[in-house]
A and B are shown apart, each in its own frame.
Chain A
Amino acid sequence: MTENYHVFSDGRLERHNDTVRLVTEDDEKKYLPVENAEAVFLHGQIDFNTRLVSFLNDHGVAVHIFGWNDYYAGSVMPERGQTSGRTVTEQVRAYDDPEHRRQLARKFIRASIHNMRANVSYYDNRDHDFGSVITRLDTQQERLEPGLEINELMGVEATARRAYYSTFDDILPDGFVFGGREYNPPKNEVNSLISFGNSLVYANVVSAIRATALDPAISFLHEPGDRRYSLSLDIADIFKPLLADRVIFRLVNRQQVDMGDFEERLNGCLLTESGREAYLKEFEQMLDQTVEHPRLNRKVSYQHLLRVEVYKLKKHLLTGEEYAPFERWW
């Protein structure tokens, strides 16, 4: 249950016997094996019916829908029998206790900054001089005092992320000009890559949360929202540097995407279909990459690290055992 399937073409997704079949507009038929599927990502215009949804539900497969403009549009999640009133109660209790909430929010930010720093110091050790950025990131870490309110914590995070993003123009080759973070819609190529990558991390975290009984809408750092799975935002932030950003550096520096993989639309700059395919190929490889886990005593994939992260949070909420968010240890 670890494979993500991405569908780019327009057409129809349907149940066919005991599997899922994609029928494209020119009547080409492709099969997606559901037994080992974690989620299906729809990037094109796809029709499907309730029969397909029930079938995917039985197999515990999520569907994540991506619009070409707004990227993440929503998910059809399997029920999977993972509901637990007790878990949600504990989750709400932690959210509702200001001290507990601040403590968790602070941990998320600590880990986020740590993981940004890991990327920066990788390039600092190669042929860049990012000493001053590293100092700025360390300064933000030191500002993370236990008493800070959520909005103050958010401020620390934003400052750190600005410092982190300031390295992108140096890391990426000439021609790719980042400037700063802009979205809705992204204004240039780098922003467009960041938006796409972040929404993929987000969707994968949604899948991971749904494999447990945690409620994806009850969060600690981000304000629980009506529209977004805000717990997914909390956790995705920690993993963006590891997953989304490294894919960008790799693709652009190896010239696997170039200016031809973007198009101007709706006052923004968006990846073309071939650009998205190139990104996804690299991104899925990144998810499959493994690392020796010191506590689990075996190699685990980056994708599984997401699942483990949700387990850790849930365990903390239900047992009171310490939660230490993912910080890159290698």
Chain B
Amino acid sequence: MSDTDPVEKLRRTAQDEATTDEFRVTGVMMQYYEVCERELWFASRHLEIDRDNAAVVRGTQVDDSAYDEKRRNVSIDGMIAIDVLEDGRVMEVKPSSSLVDPAKLQLLYYLWYLEHIVGVEREGVLAHPTERRREAVELTPENEQWVEDAIRGVHDIVTQETPPGAEEKPFCESCAYHDFCWSC
């Protein structure tokens, strides 16, 4: 891999080697990348989301209330914030299973980060408390490839001067950027 490869760039940033060319990827950026590239670009610019949006209110409530007795929030390198269960597995809580792949990619990214940058191997569990369902998630070679391609994808999007164009998707209406995105 060349020096300019985003995955290498992320490693350097994470390992705090003096680098002028920082590159940060948060878990939620991975999720956005899978959901909508325009949303990712907006979020990377810290454009405010619509806090009155029903889905945002609900997601915050689910996240705040679920499993609070058994999980611990841990921040690593100021880059990722993960929820660790008592048995050491990493948990990601989602209000519904309607967007499984984005949540899975987010969780896989945490596992990838832990293994390749922090140096610990962990298993993951994706939880949908409102549906009383959990799913084990593992970092297979195939999933590693998915994560690394996504890191490169995230880099491409966030370094663009202008956002990718609006694209109508089935879940647009519940997006916290909906009115911002589609107004002109």
* B180 and A295 contact, CB distance less than 8 A: no
| Nearest-CB residue, chain B, relative to A60 | B51
Measured between beta carbons, the chain B residues less than 8 angstroms from A87 are 47
Out of A1, A82, A295, A318, name the residue touching B183 (CB < 8 Å).
A295
* A308 and B46 contact, CB distance less than 8 A: no
When A319-B162, A321-B162, A322-B184 are in contact, do A86 and B179 touch as well, CB less than 8 Å? no
Q: How far is the CA of A322 from the CA of B183 in the complex (A)?
A: 10
- The answer to whether the Cβ of B45 comes within 8 Å of any Cβ in the partner chain is yes
Measured between beta carbons, the chain A residues less than 8 angstroms from B161 are 320
- The answer to whether the Cβ of A217 comes within 8 Å of any Cβ in the partner chain is no
Out of B46, B48, B173, B184, name the residue touching A212 (CB < 8 Å).
B48
Q: How far is the CA of A82 from the CA of B46 in the complex (A)?
A: 10
Q: How far is the CA of A213 from the CA of B182 in the complex (A)?
A: 18
- The answer to whether the Cβ of B163 comes within 8 Å of any Cβ in the partner chain is yes
- Count B-side interface residues using an 8 Å CB cutoff: 16
* B163 and A319 contact, CB distance less than 8 A: yes
* B163 and A311 contact, CB distance less than 8 A: no
- Which residues of A74-115 are within 8 A (CB) of B? 82, 84, 86-87
| Nearest-CB residue, chain B, relative to A295 | B182
Out of A296, A322, A324, name the residue touching B178 (CB < 8 Å).
A296
- The answer to whether the Cβ of A6 comes within 8 Å of any Cβ in the partner chain is no
Measured between beta carbons, the chain A residues less than 8 angstroms from B52 are 1
- Which residues of B155-184 are within 8 A (CB) of A? 161-163, 173, 178-180, 182-184
- Dominant secondary structure at the B interface: loop
- Which residues of A293-330 are within 8 A (CB) of B? 295-298, 304, 307-309, 311-312, 314-315, 318-324
Measured between beta carbons, the chain A residues less than 8 angstroms from B184 are 295, 312, 321-324
Q: How far is the CB of A33 from chain B (nearest CB, A)?
A: 15
* B46 and A311 contact, CB distance less than 8 A: no
* B46 and A315 contact, CB distance less than 8 A: no
Q: How far is the CA of A309 from the CA of B180 in the complex (A)?
A: 9
Measured between beta carbons, the chain A residues less than 8 angstroms from B180 are 311, 314-315
Q: How far is the CA of A5 from the CA of B76 in the complex (A)?
A: 45
Measured between beta carbons, the chain A residues less than 8 angstroms from B46 are 84, 86
Measured between beta carbons, the chain B residues less than 8 angstroms from A324 are 184
Q: How far is the CA of A322 from the CA of B46 in the complex (A)?
A: 20
Q: How far is the CB of A128 from chain B (nearest CB, A)?
A: 34
Q: How far is the CA of A320 from the CA of B47 in the complex (A)?
A: 14
| Nearest-CB residue, chain B, relative to A85 | B46
* A86 and B45 contact, CB distance less than 8 A: yes
Measured between beta carbons, the chain B residues less than 8 angstroms from A314 are 47, 180
When A307-B179, A311-B183 are in contact, do A318 and B48 touch as well, CB less than 8 Å? no
Query: Could you list 16 further interchain pairs (A-B, Cβ under 8 angstroms) beyond the known A84-B48, A314-B47?
Result: A60-B51, A82-B48, A84-B47, A87-B47, A213-B48, A297-B173, A304-B179, A309-B183, A311-B179, A312-B184, A314-B180, A318-B45, A318-B47, A319-B163, A322-B184, A324-B184
| Sample (24) of A-B pairs whose CB atoms are under 8 Å apart | A1-B52, A82-B48, A84-B46, A84-B47, A86-B46, A87-B47, A212-B48, A295-B182, A295-B183, A295-B184, A296-B179, A296-B183, A297-B173, A297-B182, A304-B179, A308-B179, A311-B180, A311-B183, A315-B183, A318-B47, A319-B162, A319-B163, A321-B162, A321-B184
Give the interface of B toward A (CB within 8 A).
Answer: 45-48, 51-52, 161-163, 173, 178-180, 182-184
Question: Top 9 closest A-B pairs, CB basis?
Answer: A311-B180, A308-B183, A312-B183, A1-B52, A295-B182, A311-B183, A319-B163, A296-B182, A320-B162
